Amino acid sequence: MSSRFRCGLCGREYPLGRRIRCSCGGLLEVEHDFPEGLDTSLFDGRLSSRHPPYNSGVWRFKELIHPIIDERYIVSRGEGNTGLYRHRRLSAYVGLKEIWVKHEGENPTGSFKDRGMTVGISEARRLGVKAVICASTGNTSASLAAYAAQAELRCIVLLPEGGVAYGKLAQAIAYGAKVVEVEGGFDEAMHLLEEAVEILGIYPLNSINPWRLEGQKAIVLELLQQRDWRPPDWIILPAGNLGNTSAFGKALRELRELDLIDEIPRLAAIQAEGANPFYRLWREGGELKPVERPRTIASAIRIGRPVNWSRALKAIEWTDGVVEQVSDQEIMDAKALVDRCGIGCEPASAASVAGAKKLVEMSIIDPGEKVVCILTGNLLKDPDLTIRYHRGEIEGIKPHLANRIIRIEQGIEELEEALSSDH
Ligand code: F0G
């Protein structure tokens, strides 16, 4: 049993280590020799475990993610184990009888990033790394800060100045990361990160790190396990830096190669209209043309130069998938609807639900098909936008599903009157 790195561009092989890029500039991927006779019963058998690391919805699948790491290096907070939910309102809104949402906002720091981070930080410990760094639109920094604090590693996070939701910024500060605001947007912060890695030698835990993607494969593994290993027709996810899209494609390819699934779900990656380089690439072909000033209300996916575009494109092609875009209005309305179901998510997450609705309207998804949408982050990450939507205070966004706050003077009659009015 062994694992190695392979360049996604030229195919060159490297032993595991601190290297992130090939000498040709391509990003490295982890390649495993999986144990013989691997069967889903091994993973199902661990479902009742209450002990770390196998009570984690990532490490339960250790043989598919990081088969060779010794348990003593693993830093886990029982990540994953997130719910798969249905709701009548959601079905009606999207126009699908069988639609589920998988709520990755239920992870320890409130986003799917924890799945990649438990693996990335554990590998950092295995390598004897002392300091870690990321550039982030917020969630990666919150997750890295938390896991680095657990592992007692020095943590530096590079954030776009003024572009991060307060819930996420608060987490990064509170968990003790060195928070550095960089002039410009996420893409500028990402550029600086690559320099910091090369010149300062700090270990990066962005999704350019191949171990992050290994951990994020577990979203797909767990959702299939929750469905008794019966794949849905579609898996729909928000797309920013395209780490998840790449990880989902890799997970499905490996499961198929191991004969653990019979059918391959189609992936649908959903971008925000103002930050849509991957959508344009998919439509127009050729090389990725970056969006210089990405704009969207969903700050988590405000990315114009996604680093993982080439492997994400392979994932879409290999699964016969699609890439779609949605407007900020569609994102905020879908978010309000998900919230109203009592499930709740942050704005970027709702791109998946908005995308599902659009793909049904475009007849790309058939109303009889089974669909799982990924909700990537928790509602409490960005309370500011939620309140502004319901108050009708976001410029250019109509609060179609507003739940207005009523203000009354003291008195039971005033209360009675307020409750009798339909709002
Ligand atoms: N949804 C949320 C809530 C995110 O935080 C992100 C990415 C995405 C979707 C997009 O996922 O990059 O794999 O395509 N957030 C990163 C960050 C960029 O820094 O937290 P992706």
Which residue puts its alpha carbon closest to atom 10 of ligand 1? 240
Q: How far is the CA of 234 from the centre of ligand 1 (A)?
A: 20
Which pLDDT belongs to residue 92?
98
Separation between Cα atoms, residue 276 and residue 303, nearest integer Å = 8
pLDDT band per the 50, 70, 90 thresholds, residue 272 = very high
pTM of the predicted model, to two decimals?
A: 0.97
Q: How far is the CA of 190 from the centre of ligand 1 (A)?
A: 13
CA angle 336, 173, 192 (to 5 degrees): 90
Q: What pLDDT, in 10s, does the model give residues 224-267?
A: 999 999 999 999 999 999 999 999 999 999 999 999 999 999 99
| Residue 205 to residues 34, 142, 212, Cα–Cα distance (Å) | 24, 12, 7
Helices (H), 83-112: 88-94
Residue 1 has pLDDT above 80, yes or no: no
Residue 227 DSSP one-character state: T
Separation between Cα atoms, residue 227 and residue 231, nearest integer Å = 7
Residue 423 has pLDDT above 60, yes or no: no
Mutate to test the pocket of ligand 1, among 109, 117, 136, 137 (most ligand atoms within 8 A of CB): 137
Q: Nearest-CA neighbor of 49 among 25, 18, 74, 81?
A: 81
Residue 422 has pLDDT above 90, yes or no: no
- DSSP bridge partners of 159: 181
pLDDT band per the 50, 70, 90 thresholds, residue 220 = very high
Residue 421 has pLDDT above 90, yes or no: no
139 Cβ inside 6 Å of ligand 1: yes
What does the DSSP assignment read for 10-74? T--EE-SSS--B-TTSPBEEEEE-PPTT--HHHHHHGGG--STTTTSTTGGGHHHH-TT--GGG-
Q: What percent of the chain has pLDDT over 70?
A: 99
Which pLDDT belongs to residue 12?
98
pLDDT band per the 50, 70, 90 thresholds, residue 97 = very high
Q: What pLDDT, in 10s, does the model give residues 172-194?
A: 999 999 999 999 999 999 999 99
Which residues, in sequence order, are CB contacts of 93 under 8 Å at separation 6+? 334, 337, 353, 357
Q: What pLDDT, in 10s, does the model give residues 19-66?
A: 999 999 999 999 999 988 999 999 999 999 999 999 999 999 999 999
Q: What pLDDT, in 10s, does the model give residues 300-342?
A: 999 999 999 999 999 999 999 999 999 999 999 999 999 999 9
Which residue puts its alpha carbon closest to atom 19 of ligand 1? 136
pLDDT band per the 50, 70, 90 thresholds, residue 210 = very high
- DSSP bridge partners of 31: 4
386 Cβ inside 6 Å of ligand 1: no
Q: How far is the CA of 340 from the centre of ligand 1 (A)?
A: 23
304 Cβ inside 6 Å of ligand 1: no
